[in-house]
Amino acid sequence: MDTTTRPAPIRPTQPKVGIVSLGCPKALVDSERIITRLRAEGYQIAPDYSGADLVLVNTCGFLDSARDESLEAIGEAIEANGKVIVTGCLGAEPDVIEKAHPKVLAITGPHQYEAVMDAVHTHLTPPHNPHLDLVPEAGLRLTPRHYAYLKISEGCNNRCSFCIIPKLRGDLVSRPIHHVLTEAEQLVKAGVKELLVISQDTSAYGLDVRYKPETWRGTEYETRFLDLAKGLGSLGVWTRMHYVYPYPHVDAVIPMMAEGLITPYLDIPFQHASANVLKAMKRPAKQDKVLERIQQWRRDVPELAIRSTFIVGFPGETEEDFEILLDFIREAKIDRAGCFQYENVAHADSRTLPDHVPDEVKEDRWHRFMQVQAEVSAARAKAQVGTVQDVIVDGADEEPGIMIARTKADAPDVDAVVYLDNATHLRPGDIVPAKITGADDYTFTRRLPERASAHQPSALRPGADPSASPSCGYRLRVSLARPVRAGRRDKVERVHIRTPG
C-alpha cells in the first residue's frame, strides 16, 4: 500500500469514515479531496465497512450500467454498515437514489465538497481535536505515490448528444492556473514522477475565464492549455495530457514534446471519423484536416503516441460511415484505442435520434473495429522492438523477478505495460532506460467491467481503480493491449477500460 494512502492508526475515540470511490479519474480526484478534508478535520479513514462509523459512496452516473453499479454499491454499504452518505454524479438525481435506497442519510451531487462535509458533520460528530493527524501538503491520494491525476477543471461546455456529463456536472469551470501549478509542484515535491492532466475537455481550459492571467513563481501565465503545458513542463516530470481535442491550438504543444518538456502522448477522444456521425454526435472539434494534423505531429515528434476512444453503432451510422472510421484508424495509426458500442443512456439527447442501429450490427462492427485496431497496434508495437526507451516502474509482477513498467506511450491502467527481467532492485517511480526485446501481438478481449467482489473502501486499496471508467464513463467494452515486452513472458491478462471524453 502506498504511504500516501495508508490510513493513520485508528484511535478508538476518533470518528471513522469509509470511502467507496466509483467511476472515472475525475471522480477519484473528488474522493481524494474529500478524504483530505476529512483527515484535516481529524476524521479517520476506515479500512472496511465494519470499522467505519459512516460510509461515503462516491458514485458514477454516466451510463445505465454505471448507475446500476452505483446503486448496487450503495445497497451493499447500507447492508454492511447502515450509515451511508452518497455523493458524485448519480447524486445529481437524488430521486433515483431515494427510491432505490430510502435509508440513505444524505445525498450530494458531484464536486459538492462543502455539502459532503456538512452531511458528514450532521451524521457523525466532528472530532474535538482536528489536528491529530497532519495532512501532507500535497493532500491525500488514492493513486500510487509516483503518479497523480491533476484535475484542471470541472464540467464541460460541449453538448455531445450521447453524453449527460454537462447535465450532471454543469458547464466548464476552470481552476485558476496558479492553483493548478502550485498543486502540481507540491505533488512533485511529494515524490510524484508523472502527472496525468484530466478534465472533460483539456484543450478548452480557461475558456470560461477568458484565459485570465495569473502569476506563478514570478512569471505570468494565462489560464490556457499552452501556458499550462509550459508551467507543468518546467517541473521536470512526465506530464501526460488526457482528453485533448484536436483544436488547432494543440499544435503549439507539439514542439514542447519534441523538446522533452511534455510527454509525447495525446489522449484524444475522437469517437468517430465520419462527418455525418460526428455531426449527429455534436462533437466539438471538426474532423477537417485532422489526419493532416496528426501526420504533421508525427513528423515533428516521431515517438508521439495517440490514444483514443470510439463509439460504434451510433444512431444513423451507416456501413459507409463505419468504413470511414476503419480507414481513419488505419491512416491515423492510432496507437491505443478503446471502442464502445453505443448505449442508449437515460436522459441523453441521442435517444431521440432516428435510425438506431440494431444490437447485432453494433456487435459485428465492434468486432471488426477491434480487429483492425489490433493490426494497427501490433504493427506499432513491433516497430518498437530493438529501441531503447525510458520506462517508469509501477511495481512488482506476480511472477517472481519481474517488474512491471510503462513507456512514455503508456498511461497507467489503460495502456500497455513493459516487463523487466532482473530488475527487482528497482522501486516504483524509478525511471530507467530499457531495451525493448519483444512485443506480443495486440489482442483484445471483451468483457463487461468486472464488479469488484466487494466495494472495499478505496482508500484502503493500493490505489483505487481509475480504469473503472475514466473520462465520461463509457464502460461497456474494453480493449486489452498486449504489452511491449522487455523480457520473456507469454501472457498477461489485464483489462483496460476506456471511456470517451
Annotated binding site: 24, 60, 89, 156, 160, 163
| Dihedral (CA of 233, 235, 237, 241) sign | negative
Query: Is the separation of the CB atoms in 269 and 243 below 8 Å?
Result: yes
Question: Per-residue contact track with ligand SF4, 431 to 450, x per CB under 6 A?
Answer: --------------------
- Between residues 200 and 407, which has the closer beta carbon with respect to ligand SF4? 200
Residue 412 as a binder of ligand SF4 (CB under 6 A): the answer is no
Task: Answer yes or no: are the C-beta atoms of 183 and 192 closer than 8 Å.
Answer: no
**Using an 8 Å Cβ cutoff, are 483 and 71 in contact?**
no
Q: Is 165 in the site for ligand SF4 (CB under 6 A)?
A: yes
Identify the residue among 42, 110, 313, 500 touching ligand SF4 (CB under 6 A). 500
Chain centroid to CA 43: how far? 27
In 3D space, the residue among 161, 168, 158 whose CA is nearest the CA of residue 70 turns out to be 168
Question: In this chain, which of 74, 163, 244, 294 binds ligand SF4, going by CB under 6 A?
Answer: 163
Pair 105, 119: CB distance under 8 Å: yes
Q: Which is nearer to ligand SF4, 166 or 395 (CB)?
A: 166
The residues in 127-156 that bind ligand SF4, with binding defined as CB under 6 A, are 156
How far apart CA 94 and CA 75 sit, in angstroms, is: 15
Q: Which of residues 250-289 bind ligand SF4 (CB under 6 A)?
A: 284
Q: Minimal distance in Å, beta carbon 153 to ligand SF4? A: 11
Q: How far is the CB of 159 from ligand SF4 (least distance, A)?
A: 6
User: In which residue are the cell numbers 484565459 written?
Assistant: 211
- Which parts of 199-261 are beta strand (E)? 213-216, 219-222, 238-241
Calpha distance 497→25 (Å, rounded): 12
Nearer to ligand SF4, 49 or 62 (CB): 62
**Euclidean distance between the first and the last CA atom of the chain, given in angstroms as a whole number:** 30
Q: Pick the piece of the chain touching ligand SF4 (CB under 6 A) from 94-102, 163-171, 348-356, 438-446.
A: 163-171
Cα separation, 411 vs 199, in Å, equals: 15
CB of 474 to ligand SF4, least distance (A): 9
Q: Residue 207 CB, nearest distance to ligand SF4 (Å)?
A: 12
If binding is defined by CB under 6 A, does position 158 make contact with ligand SF4?
yes
Which is nearer to ligand SF4, 233 or 501 (by Cβ)?
Answer: 501
60 scored as a contact of ligand SF4 (CB under 6 A): no
Which residues participate in the annotated binding site for [4Fe-4S] cluster?
24, 60, 89, 156, 160, 163
Which lies closer to ligand SF4 via its Cβ, residue 65 or residue 200?
200
Question: For residue 216, what are the CA distances in angstroms to 119, 153, 243, 256, 373?
Answer: 35, 18, 25, 19, 42
Rounded CA-CA distance 39/478 in Å is 35
Q: From the list 63, 86, 148, 160, which residue makes contact with ligand SF4 (rule: CB under 6 A)?
A: 160
**Options 92-100, 161-169, 353-361, 410-418: segment touching ligand SF4 (CB under 6 A):** 161-169
CB of residue 166 vs ligand SF4: minimum separation in angstroms?
Answer: 5
Smallest distance from the beta carbon of 147 to ligand SF4, in angstroms?
A: 23
- Looking up cell 518498437, which residue turns up? 384
174: which strand partners?
Answer: 153
Give 17 or 63: the residue with its C-beta nearer to ligand SF4: 63
| Residue among 416, 472, 476, 497 that touches ligand SF4 (CB under 6 A) | 472
Q: Does 201 bind ligand SF4 (CB under 6 A)?
A: yes
Least distance in angstroms from the C-beta of 243 to ligand SF4: 7
Single residue of 127, 166, 170, 213 touching ligand SF4 by CB under 6 A = 166
Q: How far is CA 94 from CA 85, 278, 354, 417, in A?
A: 12, 32, 30, 40
How far from chain centre, in Å, is Cα 263? 17
Q: Residue 163 or 337: which CB sits closer to ligand SF4?
A: 163
- 3-state SS, one letter per residue, for 18-63: EEEECCCHHHHHHHHHHHHHHHHCCCEECCCCCCCCEEEEEECCCC
Cα 267-478-444 angle, rounded to 5 deg? 100
Give the sign of the dihedral formed by CA 21, CA 24, CA 25, CA 31: negative
Residues in contact with ligand SF4 by the rule CB under 6 A? 156, 158-160, 163, 165-166, 200-201, 284, 472, 500-501
